[in-house]
Amino acid sequence: MIIGTAGHIDHGKTTLVKALTGVDADRLPEEKARGITLDLGYAYASQADGSVLGFIDVPGHEKLIHNMLAGATGIDFVLLVIAADDGPMPQTREHLELLDLLGLEHGAVALTKCDSVDADRIKAARGEIEALLGGTRLQGSPVFAVSAPKGEGIAALRAHLDAVAAAHRARRADGRFRLAIDRSFTLSGIGTVVTGTAFSGRVDAGGTVIIAPAGSTGQGGLKARVKSLHVQDRPAAYGQAGDRCALALTGDFEKKDIARGMWVVDPAAARPLLRFQAELKVPATQAALKHWTPVHLHLGAVDITGRVALLEGDPLAPGATALAEILLDRETIAVRGDRFVLRDASAQRTVAGGRVLDCFPPSRHKRGPARLALLAALRDDDPAASLRLMVEQAGAGIDLLRFAANWNLADDAAAALWRAAGLRVIHAGDEQTGFSAAAWQALGEKLLAALAAEHQRAPDMVGIERERLRRLTLPTLARAAFDALVAELLGAGRLAASRAWLHLPEHEAKLAAGDRDLFGVLRPLLDAQPCGPPRVRDVAKASGTAEDVVRQLFRRVARAGELYPVAHDHYFTADAVAQLAALVAELDAEKGSARAADLRDRIGGGRKVAIHILEFFDRIGYTRRVRDEHVLRDTGSTHAWINN
């Protein structure tokens, strides 16, 4: 269990920690010289069962709130320190307000310096403390009267802390590993060491982690290996959520590259962000919060400037709660559920606190009813609730890897959630898209309805090209999901394919008898040079047919699926296109892509024709252009039409 002190300056926090542990948590020479705590201090105490109590001692000065918050965000239990002679002071109240915003509910009060006052003053101080804690999360916490220098009351307080620690339920170690760095230093023979509290997951000695965000711009991350680690000041094979960890790291970086506020995370959790949406509360003692207020964000051990964009209510009244977006001036790491505090632009006053809800907010329609409903669902600690609403809202499916990252779900937990929700999961490389059963069925019906409408509009066309049908079905639908949908409908016999065309099984496009006869006369001119056929004007000239007659005929034949308009007024037969598609597939297999020069060498003719052919394949979705190369789309089904 991690215990954090809190309270006004000179109320005896460090002295109390030393009395409880035997360790002076003031480690800086300036702290020892001035007799005040300037930065976070750490101490540990062994328990009878072999476990260890960890203490984080925080500074009490009003100008050092940023250091206090860096230590307070990872603790399990609050030890609020109040001097009997002074009673609650300004920083006592401010620290208590901050602890309340951070959601800390378990604690005790140490009433220090009791040897310097009489019994009446101690009784009065207890009354002041009771009034102070009323209405806060720490209301009803026990109060222990102590004199740390004399050791009076220390045994009773320590016994209480031991009992609480024995009953304390360790944090679950699920999710991916995340540790907020609050200190970094170099040790001779060991190298770079970082310390902090593990927020989630587990890390093993020898494991690979990412230090993020990193770099002068705050972007990216540093890859590192955990050479060794200490947990609660003892050597350990692993550390997990709730532990105070010291990690000895090795990698292509130096100690100067690492600073307080960075994170050590599982590589899959290294997703730096510049904005997130959250549930925000303004303390009743503070002023109303206005839209676009500049703030300091304290999350984990970081202090970053940014702004608040209110999504509902402007201004946000004292004591009120609302949804908001936090926009940051540099990147950090966060997941849903992380607690944070906002201070004003001068870092002198607390303006709000809250809880992260969504680390991947949309850039549009942020205040729409559907979006606000989803954020409301994200307040529920069960991810299944927001998952249900998200798949209902998203006709094009949801990015499951982003959902898992937002909730910090490990692979096994995420897969179990998808199964429990009955999702249709589409895999495409490193991406996963999820659909509810109802949404997937609705997409299929929408695709078939689009086909039926197109058949009615153009009965002489054999069908629709894949890419055009995807846009008619749902423009935002990912190609991998569309291909899976098409494959499913083809397998069920509800959809049919004729080369590059998709159509309903009962649909059949036929040429009129006159068109069939004329095309029979003109086709040999195209077959003579299948990979470089004459253009419309050349066919007209060679056959003695009016150019406009040839053009209109070829358009009707193309709608019937026997010709393809590869370029303007340049038609290739379906057999020739199938042959060219096979050549492009061969080039892709041999060289990793198809280039115009290589295709020209295979078919003869000019480079311009080869470019038109490759651009045609890009257009219909058979290939995709990557600079000057054309790469076969890896969908598993784009080859099927070649031989149909």
Predicted confidence (pLDDT) per residue in 416-456, tens digit:
999 999 999 999 888 999 999 999 999 999 999 999 999 98
Domain boundaries, the chain: 2-167, 178-269, 273-358, 513-643
Task: Tell whether the model's pLDDT for residue 400 goes beyond 70.
Answer: yes
Take residue 171 and report the two structure tokens written for it.
């944090």
CA–CA gap between residue 176 and residue 421 (Å, rounded): 22
The CATH code of the domain at 2-167 is 3.40.50.300
CA–CA gap between residue 25 and residue 57 (Å, rounded): 7
Take residue 239 and report the two structure tokens written for it.
């550390």
Predicted confidence (pLDDT) per residue in 551-604, tens digit:
999 998 887 878 999 999 999 999 999 999 999 999 999 999 999 999 999 998
Residue 215: per-residue pLDDT: 54
Residue 636: per-residue pLDDT: 45
Share of the chain above pLDDT 90, in %: 80
Say if domain 178-269 classifies as CATH 2.40.30.10: yes
Computed over every residue of the chain, the mean pLDDT equals 92
The CATH code of the domain at 513-643 is 1.10.10.10
Predicted confidence (pLDDT) per residue in 186-210, tens digit:
998 899 999 999 999 999 999 999 9
Q: For residue 642, give Cα distances in angstroms to 559, 585, 639.
A: 17, 10, 6
Strand 302-310, strand 350-358: pairing: unpaired
The CATH code of the domain at 273-358 is 2.40.30.10
Take residue 531 and report the two structure tokens written for it.
């990979």
Identify the CA nearest to 358 among candidates 270, 293, 281, 279.
279
Predicted confidence (pLDDT) per residue in 474-507, tens digit:
999 999 999 999 999 999 999 999 877 899 999 8
Task: Tell whether the model's pLDDT for residue 510 goes beyond 80.
Answer: no
Q: For residue 15, give Cα distances in angstroms to 100, 260, 329, 476.
A: 25, 25, 38, 62
Quote the crossing angle between the two packed helices 536-543 and 513-527, to the nearest 10°: 100
Do the first three CATH levels of 2-167 and 513-643 match, i.e. the same topology?
Answer: no
Predicted confidence (pLDDT) per residue in 163-189, tens digit:
999 888 878 888 999 999 999 999 988
Task: Tell whether the model's pLDDT for residue 37 goes beyond 90.
Answer: no
pLDDT confidence bin for 638, thresholds 50/70/90 = very low
Across 334-373, the runs of DSSP E, i.e. the strands, are 339-344, 350-358
Predicted confidence (pLDDT) per residue in 50-66, tens digit:
889 999 999 988 888 98
Predicted confidence (pLDDT) per residue in 78-96, tens digit:
999 999 999 999 999 999 9
Amino acid sitting at position 46: S
Segment 327-336 mean pLDDT: 96
